[in-house]
Amino acid sequence: MRQLQLKRIDTPTLVKWGSTKYDASSILSAFKFLNLIDDQGKVTENYTALRPDATYKDQLSRIVRSAYARLFELHGDSFEGKNRKDIADTIILDDAYPETAKKSADKAASLFIWLCSQSGIATGSKDATAKVVGATRASSEVKRPAIKPAATKTPPAPTQISQVSGFPLSVSLVITPANTEAEIYEMFRKLNNTLKRLEDENSSN
């Protein structure tokens, strides 16, 4: 999003760039929490500060430390010995952020750890990137290693998923035991969004 140099970020903006309305609600909440946008959706100086690549990590570190000041008060300057469960427990059990619903604590902790990984703040968790739905969409710097199928297994043949304006569209998805439920959901969500966009574009031509 920082590459787009937007003046306003709201639900229609996020939907335009590929988010579902459900995801948009979570993204906007996170952006407000990080003070990247105000209550009206106007971008703030924090959002503007994230654009220069050379200062991205330093600026993000400043933003993270400010937004999560209570966590840093409780744990000090380093989270190197803290895993995702430790941080989730702090958010809920230590009342760092009492407004966070218990069922959201794990997701909130994963987001915090991912932000730390982007800003150079060390944590003891290595699995946050895979647990933040849409994280690869949020930053072009996030690149997950490709998951290759086992050598003994042959990828499935392309399966016809849908038909767009009279021509067949075949898509092959390879899912392995290493894929999380969130990753599989995201694959199908992106595929569904792509099909809808293709249908819209072809119907308007």
Supply 1's token pair.
């999003």
Quick check: 120 and 61 in contact, CB under 8 A? yes
Q: Residue 168: in which H helix or E strand, if any?
A: strand 167-171
Tens digits of residue pLDDT in 141-180: 434 344 444 455 454 444 444 444 444 556 666 777 777 7
What CA–CA distance (Å, rounded) separates 119 from 77? Answer: 13
Quick check: 39 and 176 in contact, CB under 8 A? no
Closest C-alpha among 109, 28, 16 to residue 71: 109
Residues 6+ apart with CB under 8 A from 14: 23, 24, 27, 28
What CA–CA distance (Å, rounded) separates 50 from 59? Answer: 6
What CA–CA distance (Å, rounded) separates 116 from 118? Answer: 5
pLDDT grade, residue 204 (50/70/90)?
A: low
Q: Give the model's pLDDT for residue 155.
A: 47
Supply 77's token pair.
């300057």
Tens digits of residue pLDDT in 56-97: 899 999 999 999 998 888 888 778 888 888 888 887 766 677
Tens digits of residue pLDDT in 94-149: 667 777 777 888 888 888 889 998 998 888 766 544 444 444 444 434 343 444 44
Whether residue 28 has pLDDT greater than 90: yes
Global confidence as pTM:
0.59
